[in-house]
Amino acid sequence: MLLLINQTVSYLSVTYYFIRPNYQQINNLLATQIKLVFIGDRNHFDPELSRRFYAATGIRVYTQRQAVTQGLEQAVYYQYLSIKMSEKLGGEAEVRITPGDPYLFWVRPPQNPNLWITIPMIGVGEPDISPLTIYLLVIGILSVGGGWIFVRRLNRPLKALQDAAILVGKGQVPEPLKKEGSTELMAVTHAFNQMAKGIKQLEDDRALLTAGISHDLRTPLTRIRLATEMLPDSQEWIKEGIVHDIEDMNEIIDQFIDYVRQDQQEKLQEGDINVLINEAVQARNIEEDHNIQLDLEPLPYCMIRRVALKRVLDNLIENAFRYGSNDIEITSRFLKKDKQLCFAVRDFGPGIPEDQMERLFVPFTQGDKARGSLGSGLGLAIIKRIVEMHGGNVSLANHAKGGLVAKVTIAYQAVS
């Protein structure tokens, strides 16, 4: 709206202070020359004087019939010039213009309405682009360019703030943002930096606390296991139960550490998800009662965290075997239109009620009501974090023909 108002004001300013004075000057000149044609007798025209005028100035005088023959009908009528000419000549006058080289002005004077006077004007219409057009074009370009620079400067800190917020949402803490832009933007940036700093401190404290607890728990567990090994053979059943419980507790501790660590230290590297799937499947081939069917579509190489995604696959496969069935199916697809890589693990078990699927991704939530699961309730939460680090999402859905499907999609990051 501001640009539109600016263009309108510019147009009116140029019209009133540049174009109109020029036309008024031309009109005054034409009126002066017409008065010279009728000098002496106001209502009488001398043909000899007309000849002399033409020889000296190029001005011609035609009757109505002669004017039509010479091209009067092709001339364009100008109301503004006609009104001003009438004021100068003291009566009703008509002005027409024939464009060309030179421009030809047709004037029917009030002194003798039966005559048409033609006055050639050189240089009136020579430029291809009028000064007004050039002026408005320059003003428009400068206005749009200035607006673009202003908006770009305003949006740059907002874009940086958006990118930093996305990183925080993925569990990563960016470097403090540079304070720039308006006062309000600087205040928001400062508040965001303080918030990011607080989140980083909370994450560090939580990691330190979890690591300390895990370390302190492993020491008595190790002593308990050593003491268990000293039990007599007659109490073998007690020994096996204690060892099994210790292994479960160690596994839970490992899950705590994995959840806090988030695999942030692993760098992105070039990889093929199908290769990770095949490696995970080969690791399971030693289990004779388990069968994995593959339906893998060729996938492009992309930037991934190999160890983290391997953990996702191992966890999904383990869940499918433990809570689903001994036969599972793994598929992979490349969603080229959406620029996403997708893989899914399906079992043929009882599935999960729809209303319990979302809550399984909440940390420390166990799915015992769904499929009789045990553990810390961190497995799917860890998977969700890893997948979100790759710009993707993980979802659960019951298959139409039975079983549960765990689907993972990650953003395709082309190899540079």
Q: How confident is the model at residue 354 (pLDDT cuts 50, 70, 90)?
A: confident
Residue where one domain finishes, among candidates 201, 233, 261: 261
> Does residue 280 share a domain with residue 362?
yes
Cα angle 122, 124, 129 (rounded to 5 degrees) comes to 135
Alpha-carbon Rg of the chain, whole angstroms? 44
In the prediction, which pLDDT does 368 show? Answer: 47
Does any domain span residue 416?
Answer: no
Question: What is the rounded CA–CA span in Å between residue 174 and residue 192?
Answer: 11
Do 314 and 402 lie in a common domain?
Answer: yes
Does 302 map to a domain? yes
Read off the pLDDT band of 127 (50, 70, 90).
very low
Q: Are residues 53 and 13 in the same domain?
A: yes
Residues 284 and 234 in one domain: no
pLDDT at 370: 45
pLDDT at residue 72 tops 60 = yes
Whether 234 and 338 share a structural domain: no
- Across 214-228, 297-311, 360-374, least confident range: 360-374
Contact 180, 193 (CB under 8 A): no
Clarify whether residues 115 and 134 are in a common domain.
no
**pLDDT recorded at residue 43:** 52
Shared domain for 255 and 277, answered yes or no, is: no
Q: Is 370 within 8 Å of 389 (Cβ atoms)?
A: no
Q: Tell me the pLDDT band of 200, cut-offs 50, 70 and 90.
A: confident
CATH classification of the domain holding 284: 3.30.565.10
Q: Domain range spanning residue 150? A: 129-261
> Residue 96: pLDDT above 50?
yes
- Most confident range (mean pLDDT) of 31-45, 130-144, 364-378 is 130-144
**Distance separating alpha carbons of residues 307 and 264, to the nearest angstrom:** 11
Looking at the structure, tell me whether residues 33 and 87 fall in a common domain: yes
At residue 251 the predicted structure's pLDDT band, cuts being 50, 70 and 90, is confident
- What are the Cα distances from residue 68, in Å, to 71, 74, 76, 106, 111? 5, 9, 13, 11, 20
Looking at the structure, tell me whether residues 72 and 54 fall in a common domain.
yes
In this predicted structure, what is the pLDDT of residue 45? 56
Band (pLDDT 50/70/90 cuts) for residue 369 is very low
Please write the tens of the pLDDT for every residue from 379-414: 788 888 888 888 889 999 999 888 999 999 998 888
In a domain, 204, yes or no: yes
pLDDT level of residue 244 (50, 70, 90 thresholds): confident
Least confident of 77-86, 344-353, 373-382, 394-403: 373-382
For the chain, give the percent of residues with pLDDT over 90.
14
Rounded CA gap, 49 and 34, in Å?
13
Domain count, the chain: 3
Residues 190 and 179 sit within 8 Å (Cβ to Cβ): yes
Same domain, 191 and 285: no
Name the pLDDT band for 253 (thresholds 50, 70, 90). Answer: confident
Condensed to tens digits (0 to 9), the pLDDT of residues 285-301 reads: 666 678 899 999 999 99
Mean pLDDT: which of 104-108, 145-149, 232-236, 257-261 is highest? 104-108
Stretch among 7-21, 98-112, 278-292, 325-339 having the lowest mean pLDDT: 7-21
Q: At which of 79, 108, 126 does a domain end?
A: 126
Assigned token pair, 41: 């007798």
Q: What is the pLDDT of residue 111?
A: 84
Q: Can you point out the beta strands (E) in 22-145?
A: 60-63, 76-77, 94-98, 103-108, 115-121
Same domain for 388 and 274: yes
- For residue 366, pLDDT over 60 is answered with no
Tokens linked to 283: 């690791």
When pLDDT is averaged across residues 301-305 and rounded to a whole number, the result is: 90
CA-based nearest residue to 415, from 264, 267, 305, 271:
271
Q: Residue range 186-193: average pLDDT?
A: 89
Same domain for 138 and 23: no
Q: Which residue, 65, 100, 126, sits at the end of a domain?
A: 126
How far is residue 115's CA from residue 101's CA, in Å, rounded to a whole number?
23
Identify the pLDDT of residue 372.
46
pLDDT at 139: 75
Tell me the CATH number at 172.
1.10.287.130
Q: What DSSP character marks residue 401? A: T
What was the pLDDT predicted at 347?
Answer: 93
Secondary structure class of 416 (helix, strand, coil): coil
Please check the confidence at residue 138 and state whether its pLDDT lies above 90: no
403: alpha, beta or left? (left if phi > 0; alpha if psi -120 to 50):
left
